[in-house]
Amino acid sequence: MTTNQKLALVVDDSKMQCKLLSVLLQEENYRVVVANDGASGVQMYVKHQPDLVLMDINMPIMDGFEATRRIKKLSGEGNLAPIIFITSMDSDKAFIDSVDAGGDSILVRPFSPAVFKAKIKSIQRIGDLVSQVNNLQQEQQKDAELAEKMMSDVIEARNFALDKIGVIKRAATIFSGDIQLAAQCPNGDVHVLLGDFTGHGLRASIGAIPVTETFRAMTKKGFSLFEIIKQINRQLFALLPGDLFFCASFASISEHEKSAYIFNAGLPEGYLFNNKAIIKTLFKSTHPPLGILPKLLPDAAIEVVPIELSDRLVFITDGIVEARSPDGTLFGFERFEQAAKIGVLQHGVARQVQNELEVFCQEAEQEDDITLVDIPCSGFQPKDLANSITSPKDISNPTAFSHAGETDFSGAYFNRSYRLAPAWSYQLHLTGKLLKDVNPIPLAMNQINDLAGAGEHWQSLYTILTELFVNALDHGVLGLSSTLKDSAEGFSQYFNERAKRLDTLSDHPDDYISITLNYYPFSSDKERSTAQKEVSKTGGKMLINIKDSGQGFDVLSLIKKNSTDIEHNVKLSGRGIELVNQLCDTVEYQENGTLVTASFVWSDTH
Amino acid sequence: MAIHSKVSSDGKQLTIVIEDRFDFSLHQQFRDAYCRNNTSDVTYTLDLSKTEYMDSSALGMILLLKDHVQLYTGQLVISKPNDTVNKILEIAQFHRLMTIEL
DSSP state of A290: B
Nearest alpha carbon to residue A17 among A127, A123, A116 = A116
Residues of A in contact with B24 (CB under 8 A): 199
Classify A589 as helix, strand or coil. strand
* pLDDT at residue A145, as a whole number: 78
Compute the distance between CA of residue A582 and CA of residue A600 in angstroms, rounded to an integer. Answer: 10
Q: At the top level of CATH, which class does the domain A6-136 belong to? A: alpha beta
| For chain A, domain boundaries | 6-136, 159-376, 384-605
Give the separation between CA B79 and CA A391, rounded to whole angstroms. 63
Instruction: Give how far Cα A129 sits from Cα of A82, A117, A124, A355, A435, Å.
Output: 11, 19, 9, 44, 65
Q: Cβ of A242: how many Cβ atoms within 10 Å?
A: 15
The alpha-carbon gap from A205 to the nearest alpha carbon of chain B, in Å, equals: 14
DSSP conformational letter for A206: T
Structural contact between residues A535 and A529, judged by C-beta atoms closer than 8 angstroms: yes
Residue of B nearest to A298 (CA): B96
| CB of A252 closer than 8 Å to CB of A260 | yes
Contacts of A196 in chain B (CB under 8 A): 56
A263/A250 Cα distance (integer angstroms) = 5
Of the candidates A274, A371, A285, which has an alpha carbon nearest to the alpha carbon of residue A313? A274
Tell me how far apart the alpha carbons of residues A458 and A187 are, in angstroms, rounded to a whole number.
9
What pLDDT, on a 0 to 100 scale, did the predictor assign at position B2?
Answer: 85
Are residues B64 and A243, on separate chains, in Cβ contact within 8 Å? yes
Candidates 3.40.50.300, 3.90.1310.10, 3.30.565.10, 2.60.40.10; CATH matching A384-605: 3.30.565.10
Of A198, A288, A293, the CB nearest to B60: A198
The count of structural domains within chain B is: 1
Question: CB burial class (10 A; 0-12, 13-18, 19+) of residue A433?
Answer: middle
d(CA A266, CA A169): 19
CATH code, domain with B30: 3.30.750.24
Could you give the CA distance from residue B100 to residue A170 in angstroms, rounded to a whole number?
33
Query: Which residue among B24, B64, B93 places its CB closest to the CB of A266?
Result: B93
If one counts every other C-beta atom within 10 angstroms of the C-beta of residue A456, the result is: 12
Q: Which residues pair with B21 in a beta bridge?
A: B53
Residue in A268, A293, A368 nearest the CB of B91: A268
Distance CA A46, CA A76 (A): 12
Q: Which fold has domain A159-376?
A: Phosphatase 2c; domain 1 (3.60.40)
H/E stretch holding A361 reads helix A349-361
Three-state DSSP state, B35: coil
Say yes or no for a CB contact (<8 Å) between B90 and A293.
no
Short-list A61, A75, A62, CA closest to A53: A75
Rounded distance, CA A604 to CA A455, Å?
10
Range of the domain at B82: 3-101
C-beta separation of B93 from A266 below 8 A = yes
Looking at residue A165, the DSSP 8-state letter turns out to be S
A3: exposed, middle or buried (Cβ count in 10 Å: 0-12, 13-18, 19+): exposed
**Mapping DSSP to helix (H, G, I), strand (E, B) and coil, where does residue B37 land?**
coil
H or E element that contains A470? helix A458-471
Side-chain half-sphere CA neighbours of A520 within 13 A: 17
Partners of A341 in beta bridges: none
Q: Which residues of chain B have pLDDT under 70?
A: 1
Optimal mutation site among A243, A287, A333, interface B, most CBs of chain B within 10 A: A243
Interface of A with B (CB under 8 A): 196, 198-199, 242-245, 247, 265-268, 285-289, 292-293, 297, 318, 368
Give the closest residue to A501 by CA, choosing from A550, A429, A556, A554: A550
Residues recorded for chain A: 606
Q: Which of A101, A110, A125, A2 is nearest to A52 (CA)?
A: A125
Dihedral (Cα; B35, B38, B42, B46), 10-degree rounding: 0
**pLDDT computed for residue A30 by the predictor:** 93
For residue B62, give the chain A residue with the closest CA: A243
- The secondary structure of A486-513, three-state, reads HCHHHHHHHHHHHHHHHHHHHHCCCCEE
Distance between B95 CA and the closest CA of chain A, angstroms: 9
Q: What is the pLDDT of residue A153?
A: 72
In a 13 Å sphere around the CA of A536, the CA atoms on its Cβ side amount to 1
Based on C-alpha coordinates, what's the Rg of chain B? Answer: 12
Instruction: Outline where B1-95 has alpha helix (H).
Output: 27-34, 56-71, 83-91
CB contact under 8 A, B63 and A245: yes
Interchain pair B96, A287: CB under 8 A: yes
B57: amino acid identity, one letter = S
**8 Å CB contact of A245 and B64:** no
Low-confidence spans in chain A with pLDDT less than 50: 1-2, 383-419, 526-535, 569-572, 606
Q: How far apart are CA A38 and CA A44, in angstroms?
A: 10
Task: From residue A121, give the alpha-carbon distance in Å to each of A72, A86, A237, B41.
Answer: 21, 15, 51, 57
- Is pTM beyond 0.90? Reply is no
Alpha helix locations (H) across A106-160? 113-149
